[in-house]
Structure 1
Amino acid sequence: MTRPHLKGDIHVRIRTGAASAALAGLLAVAATAPAQADDREPTQPPSSTYSNGHGPGVAAGGGVGAFLTDGDKVHFSHTVRGNINAHGWWKRINGPAKKAKVTVWLQVKNNGHWYTLNKGVKTVYSGGGSGKRASAAWKCTNLVAKYSFRSVIDVDIVGYPDDDHKKITDTQSLFCGI
């Protein structure tokens, strides 16, 4: 299940052991319609999302703790002329988690569907910044054609069960031919 992230919204996730993670997954599927990071437009999510199997606002015991999935909007590179970039990272709020595998997909909308142009994966410590994020880049074929771009970000905490949450950044219209 994809949970989009819209400007101003913060998604906080709390994960516990495998049994609670499985229960959280079942509850989440029953509570919402599935959305995928493909050709569907994101819908507005709740202001925060908890994945502990107990519902919003209940602290988890003995799990990974709470963390934010974050990233920037697709933008032109400051270092490679004619390239666009997308970055994804995570921030630990509390709990024992040290590292996470962050995956970021740079996507373009063409003929009403979202297509992945490039994917970046990196295992990083919490924080963001150049050494603590995953990145995906794309070389524009020209700077005349205008397309819509977004990124999809997934954070998998190392050593803990994962849920299907992914952040979708705001769509950006850029003069970058594909």
Structure 2
Amino acid sequence: MRTSLVLSTVMTALLAGAPLAPAQARPAASSTSYTADVGGFYTNGDHVHVSSTPPATASGHGWWVRVKGGRPGEKAKVTIWLQAKDRHGKWKSVASGSKKVKPTKGKASSTHRANARKTCESKKKTQWRSLIDVDIIGEADSPEKAVTATMTFNCGAGV
């Protein structure tokens, strides 16, 4: 339902000629919106989460969803950074991953998303988020990145 609302809102803005601005990611939902000559897309990602099987590992995924236009075989380089808040309250990137993928139509399968993982270094309560960038291959794009909601886990990142 949320994807339909986002697509509807973005399509209305595109048809009206309005520029799309980046926005903070909502829980398990979209974040940055961007339009280019090749068509519109938005960046998406899930919350950072900790694996239920040993070893405990923080993980996050990022992907992109085409809103309109573009070529069917078009790909993008999706890069995701896992970030943990240090003792000074600053976000530090502790792991990253990137992958060249085709767009999805919502939640992405493993073949359509980038993944970043960081093994927990302790059981210290730590705040986590992910930063996601989508670069359409062969096209100019904007510098905006998606930021997922902050999650807190007993999973220290060593920062």
Q: What is the match of residue 64 of structure 2?
A: 90
> More strand by proportion, 1 or 2?
2
Mark the runs of 5 or more structure 1 residues left unpaired by the alignment.
16-62
With over 3 angstroms needed to count, the CA separation of the structure-2 counterparts of 1:177 and 1:9, relative to structure 1, is closer
Mark the runs of 5 or more structure 2 residues left unpaired by the alignment.
1-21
With over 3 angstroms needed to count, the CA separation of the structure-2 counterparts of 1:78 and 1:155, relative to structure 1, is farther
Identity %: 39
With over 3 angstroms needed to count, the CA separation of the structure-2 counterparts of 1:156 and 1:80, relative to structure 1, is farther
Q: What is the match of residue 59 of structure 1?
A: none
Alignment of 1:100-119 (within 5 A): 100-110=76-86, 111-119=88-96
Superposition RMSD in Å: 2.0
Find the aligned partners of 1:75 and 1:149 in 2 and give their Cα distance: 9
Question: Secondary structure of the equivalent of 1:121?
Answer: strand
Question: Secondary structure of the equivalent of 1:149?
Answer: strand
Task: Give CA-to-partner distance per residue, 1:99-133, whole Å, 9 cap, x none.
Answer: 10000000000121000001111110111211111
Corresponding letter in the other structure for 2:39 = G
Scaled by the length of structure 1, what TM-score is found? 0.67
Q: What is the match of residue 14 of structure 1?
A: 35
Question: Secondary structure of the equivalent of 1:176?
Answer: strand
Question: Secondary structure of the equivalent of 1:131?
Answer: helix
1:71 aligns with 2:45: yes
Equivalent of residue 157 in structure 1, options 124, 136, 150: 136
Find the aligned partners of 1:67 and 1:124 in 2 and give their Cα distance: 13
With over 3 angstroms needed to count, the CA separation of the structure-2 counterparts of 1:156 and 1:78, relative to structure 1, is farther
Scaled by the length of structure 2, what TM-score is found? 0.74
Q: What is the match of residue 41 of structure 1?
A: none
Find the aligned partners of 1:146 and 1:87 in 2 and give their Cα distance: 21
The aligned length equals: 130
